[in-house]
Structure 1
Amino acid sequence: MSPLSQRTTPLAQRFRNLPISGAILAPLLALIVLFVISSLASEYFLNTRNLSNVLRQVSYTGIIAIGMTFVIIAGGIDLSVGSMLALVGVVVLYVLNTITDPFQAVILAMLAALVGGALLGLFNGLLVTRGRIAAFVVTLATMSIFRSLALYFTDAAEVSTRNPLFQGVGGGFVLGLPIPVWTFFALAVVSHVVLFHTAYGRHVCAVGANAQVARYSGIRVERVVLSTFLIAGVCVGLSAIMLTSRLNSVSPSDAGYFFELDAIAAVVIGGTALSGGRGTVWGTVIGALILGIINNMLNLTGVSPYLQGLVKGAVILLAVLLQYKRAP
């Protein structure tokens, strides 16, 4: 066996037999414990309406977090997703207000959201792969760029629509659950299949684990990295559809504010390594649910909103610390 095959075969084998159930066991146990504690701490927690609201709020950042999972597993990071959502939301409402036919307006606005998110994600990816700039620096810059563009196009004013059909997209219910929740879980199923049952998913993991070895194995590393940013952009577009249709408006200064923190936190809490190479979609789903329950309990128990960021930051630090403790 050649030295090259000795280096690449174990790598490919590692990602073909990833212990998915073991990777999400710790977050799942944490979610169960948190759920039990929350149900005992507040009599309102198990209220059907409260649980529905928690799931709805989780879905907005959870959809983005699924896209972020691909980016982080591939060894990158995207800090621009919150600002990107604000800019895409502005585009969506402009399309809705420009086209007179309500049905056509909704279809074209949703298409514009997905295409717009994909293009913005592609822009990030090209700067990282072709521009050879670190993902942290690129997305830190585009975070400011996208938010500024959203504010400029709207003069920092809230944009709304009177389209009678649009609110049903993100504000409707199916079988008692909000449509964004169904969208979130459906996306999770598709993303899990892509990540763990396709060659592309194995390539994403291999690139994040060791880009140089992946390149020796014949994997087009730049193309894989670029595609993960595109996936993240599409997920942002999908979340923008759900959020703007729920509110029938968008505030360019507030929309998506700190969504990047929530998305990254959900990914890390779910067990995905910030160094790249390993992670699970269902772990991210569990991480998003954990964050949602924590936020809900802080509100139900009357904790000051000024301290909620402290709690969220502490949870992120704890999750990262536990990752390093588990690392061989």
Structure 2
Amino acid sequence: MALKVNVGEKIKKYIIVIVLFALVAFFSILTPSFLTVDNLLTIARQVSMTGIAAVGMMFVLLIGGIDLSIGSQVAFVNILCAFLIINAGVPVVPAILICLAVSTATGLLMGTMVAVIRIPAFIATLSFMNILKGAALSISSGLPIYGFPEGFNMVGQGYIGIVPIPVIIMVVVFIAGAFILNKSYLGRYFYAVGGNEEAARLSGINVRMVIQLVFSLSAFFAAVSGLVTLSRLNSGSPQTGDGFEFDVITAVVLGGVSISGGSGTMLGTVVGVLIMGVLSNGLIMLNTSEYMQLIIKGIVLALAVGIDCVQRNRVKVKPSAKEAE
């Protein structure tokens, strides 16, 4: 019996990895060109922006919050950076630093609304989703901005060897996220606040500071993703980032991060991002319509959240050893 329990726990722990390999095998059978080096690198490049933002979203979900503004953060950073470089004549590096600072500041403001004023994260980030989108449309008058200096697209379109630069940036962000979660006291604070906010406060953790930091990090990583996207497209558009928050949240939840907070791993998030990339790429190669892709992704999110809720409910009703006796 003990052996069966251990096997069951291992299967549960690595179920998302099994799902990833199953999807790869499925699409490889249906489309022989799927499992090629070029296509796998294409998938990695396509998911790089989602992966970068997913690290910040994971932190937010770990503390029991949510950030609906990241798509608008991407659009706002796209337009602000493009405006500074093209219209205001600001050099590229200062423009990038200004965008990162402004985006991080908006994250801090959202975190303050949640931590100090006690506005629900859903409402605080929903309001900024509209504020940032409106700001992007106002700055650009609803039109794309282009005409960047030579070499600006190197970050988004360039390669080091055969590896796309966006993929390298994503890997660096993943490593930084893993370090924060597993090797720093901040990671322990994230899990503690998400597991039981009141208990974390009583144990001496500055809960307000943790919440403000997490939303600032989410906005910062969304800005990095937006800048990489801007370089890749070589054009700033207020429409960039539409629906982006859905893909990011789906990837993180699919990776096993609980929507209730307090549990999840960086490895799971990485695998969740890859699953979304494989699914999107495979559906495109099968000539699946965009509308059907939206339906499938919606089903995937519903299933991921449903599984998380079922597991949470089982933990709540599971009797203690003493009660079982």
Q: TM-score, normalised to structure 1's length?
A: 0.89
1:303 equivalenced with 2:288 (yes/no): yes
Matched residue, 1:4? none
Matches within 5 A, 1:40-55: 40-55=29-44
1:35 aligns with 2:24: yes
Q: 1:30 Cα deviation (Å)? A: 0.9
Q: Is the 8 A contact 2:72 2:129 kept in 1?
A: yes
Structure 1 residues 258-277: aligned runs within 5 Å: 258-277=243-262
Match of residue 139 from structure 2: 153
Select the residue among 108, 114, 122 that pairs with 1:136.
Answer: 122
* Residues 195, 262 of structure 2: 8 Å contact kept: yes
Amino acid at match of 2:282: M
Q: Which residue of 2 aligns with 1:77?
A: 66
Q: Aligned partners of 2:13, 2:273: CA distance in 1, in Å?
A: 13
- Structure 2 residue 199 is matched with structure 1 residue 213: yes
From 55, 75, 96, the counterpart of 1:66: 55
1:28 offset after TM fit, Å?
1.2
1:150-176: CA deviation from partner (whole Å, max 9, x where unpaired): 001111001113311211122110121
2:184 corresponds to which residue?
A: 198
Instruction: Say if 1:90 and 1:150, in contact at 8 Å, map to a contact too.
Output: yes
Secondary structure at the aligned position of 1:277 is classed as: coil
Alpha-carbon shift at residue 262 of structure 1 (Å): 0.7
Q: Aligned to 2:14, what secondary structure does the other structure show? A: helix
For residues 235-279 of structure 1, give each alpha carbon's deviation from its aligned partner in whole angstroms, at most 9, with x where no partner exists. Answer: 011111110011111210x20111110111111000000000111
Cα deviation, residue 39, structure 1:
1.0
- Separation in 1, partners of 2:305, 2:141: 40
How many angstroms does 1:324 deviate by? 3.0
Partner residue in 1 for 2:80: 91
Q: Provide the rounded CA distance (Å) in 2 between the counterparts of 1:94 and 1:24.
A: 46
Q: Structure 1 residue aligned with 2:104, among 94, 112, 118?
A: 118
- The answer (yes or no) to whether the contact 1:63–1:238 under 8 Å persists in 2 is yes
Using the TM superposition, name which of 280-289 and 42-51 deviates more.
Answer: 42-51
In 1, Cα distance between equivalents of 2:158 and 2:131: 33
Q: State which drifts further: 112-121 or 154-163.
A: 112-121
1:241 counterpart (214, 227, 244): 227
Report if the CA contact (8 A) 1:24-1:280 is conserved.
Answer: no
* Per-residue CA distance 1:181-229 (angstroms, 9 max, x = gap): 1111111111111111211110110000110000000001011011000
Give, as a single letter, the amino acid of the residue that structure 2 aligns with 1:28.
V
Spell out the pairing of 1:2-21 with structure 2 (5 A cutoff).
none
Number of residue pairs aligned between Structure 1 and Structure 2: 304
Report if aligned partners of 2:85, 2:92 keep a CA contact under 8 Å in 1: yes
Percent of aligned positions that are identical: 37
Q: Give the counterpart letter for 1:300 in structure 2.
A: M
Query: Aligned partners of 1:124 and 1:24: how far apart in 2?
Result: 33
List runs of 5+ in structure 1 lacking aligned partners: 1-20
3-state SS, counterpart of residue 36 of structure 1: helix
Structure 1 pair 221/134, CA: closer, same or farther in 2 (3 Å)? Answer: same
Residue in 1 that maps onto 2:151: 165
Task: Flag as ranges the 4+ runs of structure 1 deviating above 4 A.
Answer: 21-24
Equivalent residue, structure 2, for 1:179: 165
CA root-mean-square deviation:
1.6
Change (3 A) 1:257 1:31: same
Contact in 1 for aligned 2:80/2:139 (Cα 8 Å) = no
Any idea what the Cα deviations from partners look like across 1:66-118, whole Å, max 9, x if unmatched?
10000010111000100111011111112222565xxx822112212321221
